[in-house]
Amino acid sequence: MDVDPRQYEQVTINEDDIHSVVLSYLVHNCFKETVESLTTCTGMKQPASCCEDMEKRKRIFHFAAEGNALKAIDLTEELAPDLLKENTDLHFNLLTLHFVELVCSKSCTEALEFAQSKLAPFGKEYVKKLEDFMALLAYEEPEKSPMFHLVSPDYRQSVADSLNRAILANANQPSHSTLERLIKQIVVVRQLLSQEHGKDTFLPFSLRDFLKS
């Protein structure tokens, strides 16, 4: 059920605002070519951190999302030298991606050595997390172990996302795209509205349903 259109029909939206929302999304996700065609078509200015940086960030993101963490780390070091030093959580998570790769490819010896040399030195605060990963080694089929979520693509994706955000933040750019922020706000507002109306039959706002309607 949608809000009565009469309540918001009067609101005018600037075309340029819409364009910049779309643009920020594209930039955030490194769709370089799409950015170029959009700016050409709409006559907008190309954002400052275009081309090169975006290209580099894109490569880093893809390496991380594929699980090639070591490459991603190297490139990150080149792009933003102190980034990983300051974000130890992120650094640890990236290294675990590599560890998971080794485990999944059944290279147990290397996985063990990697864990001992690279992960253990992170110290006491990471012990619990490390134990989670070490437990993967005990299973011949890690996907069936209690820690199966650590070998899933979802995990890789979330680490890649946080790396992306960290790089953006480091370059003084917003770490969340405008579109994302707007949608999150909409969801919250709609939910508050439906609560206020207090209708029992009124379902909580579902973005998915809204998009389908």
Q: Are 133 and 126 in contact (CB under 8 A)?
A: no
Q: Which stretch binds other proteins (CB under 8 A): 67-75, 110-118, 184-192, 204-212?
A: 110-118
CA distances (Å), 165 to each of 27, 153, 171, in order? 12, 18, 10
Instruction: Verify binding: residue 105, other proteins, rule CB under 8 A.
Output: no
Q: Token pair 């490139």 is at which residue?
A: 75
Tokens coding 64: 């991380």
Q: Which of 107, 116, 191, 206 binds other proteins (CB under 8 A)?
A: 116
Instruction: Give whichever of 51 and 127 is closer to other proteins, judged by the CB atom.
Output: 127
Instruction: Verify binding: residue 138, other proteins, rule CB under 8 A.
Output: yes
Binding marks (x or -) toward other proteins, 4..33, rule CB under 8 A? ------------------------------
Length in residues, the chain? 213
Segments in 11-50 forming alpha helices (H): 15-28, 32-42
Instruction: Give whichever of 146 and 153 is closer to other proteins, judged by the CB atom.
Output: 146
Binding marks (x or -) toward other proteins, 146..185, rule CB under 8 A? x---------------------------------------
Q: In 3D, which of 86, 79, 66 has the Cα closest to residue 160?
A: 66
Q: Which stretch binds other proteins (CB under 8 A): 29-37, 43-51, 134-142, 166-174?
A: 134-142
Instruction: Verify binding: residue 100, other proteins, rule CB under 8 A.
Output: no
The three-state secondary structure class of 3 is coil
Residues with Cβ within 8 Å of residue 193, at least 6 apart in sequence: 3, 205
Binding interface with other proteins (CB under 8 A):
108-109, 112, 115-116, 120, 127, 130-131, 134-140, 146
